[in-house]
Amino acid sequence: MILLKNGRIIENNKIIKKDILVDEKIIDINDNISGDYEVIDLNGKLVMPGCVDVHVHFREPGFINKETIKTGTMAAAKGGFTAVMPMPNLNPYPDNLEHLNVEMDIIKRDAIVDCYPYGTVTVGEKDVEASKIAEIAPYVKAITDDGVGVNNLEPLESQMLIAKKYNLVIASHAETLEGKYAPEGEYVAVRREIELAKKTGCKYHFCHMSTKESFEAIRKAQKEGYTNITCEVAPHHLVLNEEMINGNPNFKMNPPLRSEENRRATVEALLDGTACMVASDHAPHTEEEKSREYDKCPNGILGLETMIPIIYTNFVKTGLIDLNRFQDILINNPIKVFNLPKRSLNVGEVADLIALDIDNEHLYTKEEIVSKGKNSPYIGNKYYGFNQLTIKNGKIIYNNLGGKHE
Ligand SMILES: [Zn+2]
């Protein structure tokens, strides 16, 4: 058993001091616990349940020079995530059970946090032939053709009906073929997919939304009562805009950074609840790929190791988001939307915990990155709220309390 002394937790939207005793489960949370246990002094760190990131690219099987399930889940543990949902743009694509098994075997062998893999909507994400949802349904929570937009609406509509039958979420990388990268490429796709989601009633989740018009369309549908339609926003669309790109490959991702007006709309959507969660779109590439000139380098930036501090520093510390909402957008809402196992900081619950340093600013450096990729636009920035300790099922899987990275 591990005794976490002098931590702080969130209770009724306030931060209060508590000791926490954990085994595989949370044994006790109290003002002062003592006993003959392994003791870790948290010195005021903020303890929360492990966070959930529903949008990560771990590149395995298929592209292990960029990331692996091992390095990806290690980055998750460092960042403060104990559950992640790896995207299916892999080789092979998890579009049938045989292919999904390749990924699941590696997860079983190498993952140090919970991984809930996505299946694909269409075979090979080619937007033509429907993938075998019935086969993979028992093993996945959601399906997506992330990385490419769905432009052939027929397989999508029939897959929505099947997904509904199996209670799977369809996550959409909304993008029209014609409009690729332009704001209208996103919101035109969003508008037409909303109509299909209304018609079929399928749980439909829009990934990494980034334009004012997309949020307007989603907000309107939600106001009409379509609670099956949800969306996420990514940290980079909340805090960066297109004026910051300056040809730097570490500022290149898809959807791209948008205008300041669209960035503000993204913030507004998170604040008013149109977007009920943040997801990192963690997308590692090799240093060689990301050292090419801007037009020739692949889309994608790292996200797992910086998402919590970016949200904490920009939204919680500034008072834009309260502590309850902080936990909702990083833990409770992803769990609710994607039907994942519940986690909370209560006696008897699984001991998946993190401990954030909210008192000290930390300079984020390239050297500390755990992911195989080093493609982060945040290197050299300072944030509050970096995770210092991750406990999974009662075992320490990340510990920086000694302050190597201070
Ligand atoms: Zn995407």
Give the active site residue among 19, 127, 146, 281.
281
Ligand 1 centroid to Cα of residue 209, in Å, is 9
- What is the Cα–Cα distance from 162 to 402, expressed in whole angstroms? 50
Please give the pLDDT value at position 314.
Answer: 98
CA of 30 relative to ligand 1 center, distance in Å = 43
Question: Strand 46-49 relative to strand 353-357: parallel, antiparallel, unpaired?
Answer: antiparallel
Cβ–Cβ contacts within 10 Å for residue 90, how many?
Answer: 25
Strand stretches in 287-381, DSSP E:
353-357, 362-363
Task: For residue range 216-261, list pLDDT tens digits in order.
Answer: 999 999 999 999 999 999 999 999 999 999 999 999 999 999 999 9
Q: 167-201: b or e for each residue (b if 16 or more CB lie within 10 Å)?
A: ebbbbbbbbbeeeeeebebbbbbbbbbbebbbebe
3-state secondary structure of 358: coil
Give the distance (Å) from ligand 1 centre to CA of residue 301. Answer: 12
Cα(232) to centroid of ligand 1, in Å? 11
Please report the pLDDT score of residue 403 as a whole number.
65
| pLDDT tens-place string over residues 339-380 | 999 999 999 999 999 999 999 999 999 999 999 999 999 999
* CB-CB contact of 338 with 143 (8 Å): no
The closest of 200, 119, 188 to 156, measured between CA atoms, is: 200
Task: Return contacts of 220-226, CB within 8 angstroms, 24+ apart.
Answer: 221/194, 221/197, 222/274, 226/194, 226/197, 226/198
Q: At CA 124, angle to CA 61 and CA 128, rounded to 5?
A: 170
Q: For residue 280, which of 1, 49, 51, 55 has the smallest C-alpha distance?
A: 55
Instruction: Give 92-141 as a DSSP string.
Output: S-SSSHHHHHHHHHHHHHH-SSEE-PPBPSBGGG-SSSBP-HHHHGGG-S
- Cβ atoms of 84 and 53 within 8 Å: the answer is yes
Q: 240, 254, 167, 174: which is closest to 207 by C-alpha? A: 174
pLDDT at residue 178, rounded to an integer: 87
Q: Angle at the Cα of 92 (from 90 to 95), degrees rounded to 5?
A: 95
pLDDT value at residue 145: 95
pLDDT of res. 402:
80
Q: Judge whether 36 counts as a catalytic residue.
A: no
Distance 356 CA to ligand 1 centre (A): 28
pLDDT by residue, tens only, the chain of 406 residues: 999 999 999 999 999 999 999 999 999 999 999 999 999 999 999 999 999 999 999 999 999 999 999 999 999 999 999 999 999 999 999 999 999 999 999 999 999 999 999 999 999 999 999 999 999 999 999 999 998 888 888 889 999 999 999 999 999 999 998 888 999 999 999 999 999 999 999 999 999 999 999 999 999 999 999 999 999 999 999 999 999 999 999 999 999 999 999 999 999 999 999 999 999 999 999 999 999 999 999 999 999 999 999 999 999 999 999 999 999 999 999 999 999 999 999 999 999 999 999 999 999 999 999 999 999 999 999 999 999 999 999 999 999 998 654 4
Cα(147) to centroid(ligand 1), Å: 4
Phi–psi pair at 163, nearest 5 degrees: -60, -40
User: Peptide bond preceding 256: is omega within 30 degrees of 0, i.e. cis?
Assistant: no
By the 10 Å C-beta count (0-12 exposed, 13-18 middle, 19+ buried), 295 is classed as: exposed
Q: Name residue 267's amino acid.
A: V
Tell which residue, 113, 106, 67, 78, has the closest CA to residue 372. Answer: 67
Per DSSP, 80 falls in state T
Residues with CB under 5 A from ligand 1 (ion): 146, 173
At residue 406, the pLDDT reads: 41
